[in-house]
Amino acid sequence: MPNASERSTRQQAKAPESAGSLELVTVSGRPHLDDRGEPCAVAPLSQGQKTLRAFGIVGALPDDGARAEYGLNQWRENVVWLSGAAVGLVLAIFVLLPFLGARFAVLQSVVFKMLIPSVTAIAFGTAVWWVFIGRMRRSIAPRIASVYLRSGQCASCGYALESLEPEADGCVLCPECNAAWRQERIGAEDPSDAQ
Ligand SMILES: [Zn+2]
């Protein structure tokens, strides 16, 4: 049976995981919390990362952290993208092609009949993904935070934290955005990998 100090250590270690519970992000638009319970952001994606993710080009993402984060949400992103593409395809076939084909004879060729739905589907899939990516990421902000911290980066802005000393409460303060993260979470092994 664990003694009191072991229990309290374990609870302290677990506290950061539960600190940013899902209700604190998403629907109400309220911010995600750092390990001191202060509001913080979800580390933003660059335009380049967004573009690569929108098209599922995982291998070109800049680092393991970015790829691991994508892995957390990949299936949802695929569903969102494909749903948008399906809407685009239906609109192209049943609205756009008949409308344009009636006005421009050249658009009645097989090439355009293939090209217009394809382009419309890709454009709709990408646009819908782009609209929802922020919301999807906020909804799993605590899990994204763990991925960033494991790779040694601030979960709020992406700044490299590994060489920084913790403060008295065991939190490392990000010099870039002032978010505070418990030192044991930074660069830590994924618990699911260790077992
Ligand atoms: Zn930061």
pTM: 0.74
Q: Is the pLDDT of residue 37 over 70?
A: yes
Distance 155 CA to ligand 1 centre (A): 7
Q: How remote is the CA of residue 46 from the centroid of ligand 1, in Å?
A: 15
How close is the Cα of 165 to the center of ligand 1, in Å? 14
List pLDDT tens digits, range 42-99. Answer: 888 889 999 999 998 888 887 788 888 899 999 999 999 999 999 999 999 999 988 8
Measure the CA–CA gap between 83 and 70, rounded to whole angstroms. Answer: 19
Determine the pLDDT at residue 29.
59
Every domain of the chain and the residues it spans: 32-194
- Tell me the CA–centroid distance for residue 183 and ligand 1, in Å: 14
The band of 190, judged by pLDDT with boundaries at 50, 70 and 90, is low
Ligand 1 centroid, distance to 141 Cα (angstroms): 14
CA of 129 to the centre of ligand 1 (A): 26
What is the DSSP secondary-structure string of 50-81? HHHHHTT-GGGSSSHHHHHHHHHHHHHHHHHH
Task: Flag whether pLDDT at 36 surpasses 90.
Answer: yes
pLDDT tens for each residue of 125-175? 999 999 999 989 988 888 999 999 999 999 998 899 988 999 999 999 999
Task: Look at residue 189 in the predicted model and tell me its pLDDT.
Answer: 67
CA distances in angstroms from 98 to 2, 52, 69, 108, listed in the order given: 72, 33, 42, 9
**Pair of tokens at residue 95:** 């609205």
Ion ligand 1 — residues with CB under 5 Å? 154, 156-157, 159, 174, 176-177, 179
CA of 158 to the centre of ligand 1 (A): 6
What pLDDT score does 82 carry? 97
